[in-house]
Structure 1
Amino acid sequence: MATQCKTANRFLLLVCIYLLLFLQWVTKDSPDILCLQEVKCSAENVPAAVRDLGDFPHQFWSTGVREGLHGVGLLCKEKPLKVTYGINMKEFDEEGRAITAEFDSFILVMAYVPNSGRGLVRLDDRERWDETFCKHLKGLQEDKPLVVCGDFNVAYEEIDLKNPKSNKDRTPGFTQRERDGFRRLLDIGLVDSFRKLYPDVQYAYTFWTYMMNARAKNVGWRLDYFLLSNDLMSALCDSKIRSDVRGSDHCPISLRLAM
């Protein structure tokens, strides 16, 4: 019993430390819009310290029906014109995976894309998501340019992961079917903002497994993206991978637009 209590106390301490690091980083960077993926708690259980962030009076959460899984959050300084949830696909919408917010000059879509799972057991489901998500974006793009961001759970090109040859077609996140799904997003006129600015930069990753000291060795994957409609490319100032920010197996990414 004592061991269980000690473990729980350590876990709570770790959560508090990560939360403090997160709050310090957000306060320092002060983005206009903050997108969170895999929040893993119901909207009611989002920490008060996050809900009370004064710079973000407009907060929207989609956390699904199962506590402790998935979930996304959108925090804004400026109130969006309209906010919707999901991609009109019940099985994934119930997991809390997407928020769409319309602003004056663009529509922001933030998503936590399904992982194909160990042994690729959800690869068929993932393909159905990709198809539906692409249709969702294509329809939105008829109204306004898009900013699409999130954890896409795919490394699109070989440059986007440390060991492409040993992972090709057998590891979730680097099968040809998943990469084809991502390519369809580019085919509808979306641009990978990081690769547009930094086409040849190697070893630029956003995810590292907790195993085998992967982050210290920089054995990683680029799974997180900002995609932009062509109409927004003239406003693109920078798209960065913030690998110096700790507290998760993913690091943040940031986008700057002159708008």
Structure 2
Amino acid sequence: MNLFDKLRSGASGTSHRCRWAERRCRREGGVEGILEEAAKEFAAKGYDGARVDEIAQAAGVNKATLYYQIGDKEALYFAVLDQVMGSLDAAIGQAVEAAEDAQEKLRQFVLAFSNQDGLMRYVAPIALREVAAGGVHMPPAAMAHMSHVLKTLKEIITLGVDRGDFRPANPMMVHMMIVGSLFFYAANGPLREKVIAATPGLREAIPFPSMTEAAEHVADLVIFALKRGDF
């Protein structure tokens, strides 16, 4: 299943621009280089600030080729969001499926974000921009992936409660604890480095974990909060 097959199957509301992009990609072949550069541009500047001509230049193609292969800026944005959200959704599903008990499933759910460190460079800032803007440009397929991730977390919590391992908790709030922490940490890396550079001794005084270490820490905190008998 290619990128646009996933986009089409992810939600019934796929726009005509996405269907048009699908037809172009089937004729022209892979466009991974374009999508990679588009992800960088959207992550850095958001939808409104991104420029298609700069994406084309960075990808080493002319603007006409980009439009021919994928479509306009909306189709390009939809393709990028479906790819990054879909990959994250799939990685979480595989990690959770391989774990046996609820506690380990929850840990693997959290760690899946750090295992997608390359994607997090793009998905975190893009997602936070969409949150701030009220999801004005969020495509239906990407929202379907987000909903599926939340459903997966709900199933883990329900399993833990049913087996007496977890106390009842609102899945949405647990989701905010996990995703909010990891997305913000992934997105604020450049600012974090500026603060460290401007504050002598800060790096030595306060450990700044890698993305994997941050995910491990978040997993420990969330599991501790949900486990029965810890309070």
Q: Same fold (TM over 0.5)?
A: no
> Which protein, 1 or 2, shows the higher relative CO under an 8 Å CA cutoff with sep ≥ 6?
2
Q: TM-score, normalised by structure 2?
A: 0.29
Whose helix proportion is higher, 1 or 2?
Answer: 2
Whose strand proportion is higher, 1 or 2?
Answer: 1
Compare CA radii of gyration and give the structure with the larger one. 2
Q: TM-score, normalised by structure 1?
A: 0.26
